[in-house]
Amino acid sequence: MTSFKNHDSWLDRELYPFQHKYLTLKNGTMHYVDEGQGPILLFVHGTPTWSFLYRDLIKELSSRFRCIAIDHLGFGLSESPAKFSGKPEDHASNLVEFMTRLDLKDVSMVVHDFGGPIGLGAALTQPNRISNIVLFNTWLWATNQNPNALKIDKLINGWLGRTLYLNFNFSAKVLLKKGFSDAGRLSRNVHQHYIKPFPDKASRMSLLNIAKALVGSSDWYQSQWQELHHLEDKNWLIVWGTADEFITQEYLKTWQKRLPKAQVETLDCGHFVQEEKTGEVLQLMQKFLDKHV
């Protein structure tokens, strides 16, 4: 059984005024937006977000760039195939197929949260397609020794975690809100656009599956980390929310050690940098792209 989310009743077309596009992949049909013309910016989201996270960046940058933002299968307005694993490595394979089918070249890839390992995992299979990388709070290394990750993993794989995720939409309703340093930056209307894509238990399996992969895919993350030298010669912009309570500044130090030539900018905000510091993010991205594109 597969399903699409009915977005006609809740999608605010002023907030998200983009044309809907769909591409049928081997694992299911992916929704994406493709706005503007010029050099390509490819936006890759994490959980429990979707392309909506990047809406304000797309509105502004599409005047100069071709902005492509996907919704992973099971997220946003994409299909939710019941048999799809939902693991980051399989989302990465979907993204590889997407990039190949659209023959995307000279791409500036923008990644965040689980979109980091997904996007970079895809980029590592086709490094010649990638020119620049903009990275928000994320990781790409083993998680199975991280105490916080292990604590979350124990919860997620128990009955309580499953109940919270599937019965109460805990990821979108509660965890997303906790990811904001300034809760005032998350309006009720915007929050609803992260809640509504997951109206029932079946649609929330994608959230549970990717949460299980925080530690469950640890070996795969580490294998990608060991291959990162294939992307180290790209131009990197790292924009980091320093008040992120889970993907903390310790993660940033790991990135800085591995990518000493990367441009690093810190902002006083939580995990969802694109929501809390939209104007600052736009300025940083525009300056970076002016220099490298």
Q: What is the pLDDT of residues 225-266, one digit of tens each?
A: 999 999 999 999 999 999 999 999 999 999 999 999 999 999
Give Dmax (Cα) for the chain: 50
CATH architecture of 21-292: 3-Layer(aba) Sandwich (3.40)
Whether 119 shows a pLDDT value over 50: the answer reads yes
- For the residues 256-284, what does the mean pLDDT come to? 98
* Whole-number pLDDT of residue 253: 98
Query: How does residue 1 score in pLDDT terms, banded at 50, 70 and 90?
Result: very low
Q: pLDDT tens digits for 134-170? A: 999 999 999 999 999 999 999 999 999 999 999 999 9
- 34 CA to centre of own chain: 17
Q: pLDDT tens digits for 64-87? A: 999 999 999 999 999 999 999 999
Query: How does residue 5 score in pLDDT terms, banded at 50, 70 and 90?
Result: low
Burial class (CB in 10 A: 0-12, 13-18, 19+), 248: middle
The average confidence (pLDDT) of the chain is: 97
Q: How is residue 87 written in tokens?
A: 């693991």
pTM: 0.97
